Amino acid sequence: MVHLKTFKMLSIERFKEDTFISYPLIDGIIINQENSHHTWILEMYVDHKYAEDFLPLIDTDEVIEVRAVISYPDNEPAGFRVLVQGIKYFENEVSILMKGTLKTHRRQYAEQLLNKLVEEGLTGDELLARFRSDMMTRPRLQP
């Protein structure tokens, strides 16, 4: 028996050239296939003009990093490493289909972020404020 979990995608950003690029969604869905490969499917519906950012990635092995807010606007963005599987044009929008894996678990991210902030010398209220802020914005952490 196949088990799938579906989630509403509220926003999505792609990491490119040391920054995140946001794509205004018309609609979006994320599917956890719950298989042994831990595969996730992301489908975003955006304006036609954004297709050109993803067209060169079809039929390549280039993995891209994206992060998406799922289900509720206050949720932390989840990071994914994905391949672009296809693009389908509709009259008023384009569907961009991606497939990949969840990048890191939230607890791992929180621990890595906290470690980075402590290494920067932050303490007390300043540490707490920056940790809260960065957990919401999810800056990319260098490995």
pLDDT in tens, 15-63: 998 889 999 999 999 999 888 888 999 999 999 999 999 999 998 999 9
Burial track 30-56 (b if 16+ CB lie within 10 A, e otherwise): bbbeeeeeeebbbbbbbeeebbebbee
Q: How confident is the model at residue 135 (pLDDT cuts 50, 70, 90)?
A: confident
* Residue 111 clears pLDDT 90, i.e. is over it: no
Query: Which residues partner with 14 through β-bridges?
Result: 21, 66
Q: How confident is the model at residue 106 (pLDDT cuts 50, 70, 90)?
A: low
Do the strands 94-102 and 78-89 form a parallel or antiparallel pair, or are they unpaired? antiparallel
Q: By C-alpha distance, which of 27, 2, 7, 15 is closest to 103?
A: 15
Q: How confident is the model at residue 77 (pLDDT cuts 50, 70, 90)?
A: confident
